[in-house]
């Protein structure tokens, strides 16, 4: 296999397995967010947007002969019902820290690009928790990295297996400290905004919001 005509989440994960890289290492190799790699595992049929296609092309072209051979073998073995070479359990073992940052009557959200490049979705700032890291520290760091906003964790809101990404999500209620909200991650995000707490469900459907978040926002109104 000398080239890939169009990458999918499944073939991207196969390339990762062929390169013998963890999610974190593969994300660093491509210079993308770890959550994007996790999304490819959770949604193997997704077609990454054009920028991602080009990054994957480059990674494949630079791969060693043996890695390309492993990739070909993994793709040929795949039966279309899973991610070749990588178990779904390993995806679910990942943990993401999600920051619910408030400033009086407002809450901070980011508008992410769809995995296929065709759509966008509003979410809270978030980042993958690597082994040895505290979710609280990740929530603070990722909020700053994505939005330019400094915040502090007030308390944990709880955790759940995210219904869409299938990763373990830990939620932190945070308070705004300083900084002007702006899009600091233009590859992953389209926009960053403060919205009124009462209008949050106009951006994120209520059934997708972790219930303790809505309860905490009502308490602070």
The whole-number pLDDT of residue 88 equals 41
Domains, the chain = 9-91 (no CATH), 94-219 (3.90.79.10)
Q: DSSP character for 84?
A: T
Collect the ranges in the chain with pLDDT lower than 50. Answer: 81-92, 116-117
State the pLDDT at residue 87: 42
Q: What is the pLDDT of residues 77-125, one digit of tens each?
A: 765 544 444 444 333 356 889 999 999 999 999 998 765 445 678 999 9
CA nearest neighbour of 193 among 108, 115, 113, 86: 108
Predicted local distance difference test score (pLDDT) of residue 115? 54
| Helix (H), strand (E) at residue 4 | none
């Amino acid at each position: 296999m000398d080239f890939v005509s169009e990458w999918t989440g499944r073939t991207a994960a196969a390339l990762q397995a062929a390169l013998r890289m963890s999610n974190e290492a593969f994300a660093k190799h491509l210079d993308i967010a770890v959550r994007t790699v996790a999304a490819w595992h959770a949604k193997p049929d997704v077609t990454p947007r054009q920028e991602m296609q080009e990054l994957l092309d480059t990674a494949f072209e630079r791969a060693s002969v043996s890695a390309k051979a492993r990739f070909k073998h993994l793709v040929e073995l795949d039966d279309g019902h899973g991610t070749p070479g990588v178990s779904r359990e390993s995806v679910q073992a990942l943990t993401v820290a999600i920051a619910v940052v408030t400033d009086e009557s407002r809450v901070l959200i980011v508008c992410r690009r769809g995995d296929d490049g065709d759509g966008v979705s509003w979410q809270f700032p978030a980042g993958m928790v690597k082994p040895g890291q505290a979710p609280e520290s990740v929530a603070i760091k990722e909020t700053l990295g994505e939005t330019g906003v400094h915040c502090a964790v007030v308390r944990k809101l709880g955790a759940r297996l995210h219904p869409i990404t299938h990763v373990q999500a830990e939620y932190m209620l945070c308070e705004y400290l300083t900084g002007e909200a702006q899009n600091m991650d233009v590859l992953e995000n389209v926009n960053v905004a403060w919205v009124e707490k009462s209008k949050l469900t106009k951006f994120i459907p209520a059934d997708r919001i972790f219930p303790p978040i809505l309860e905490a926002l009502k308490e602070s109104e």
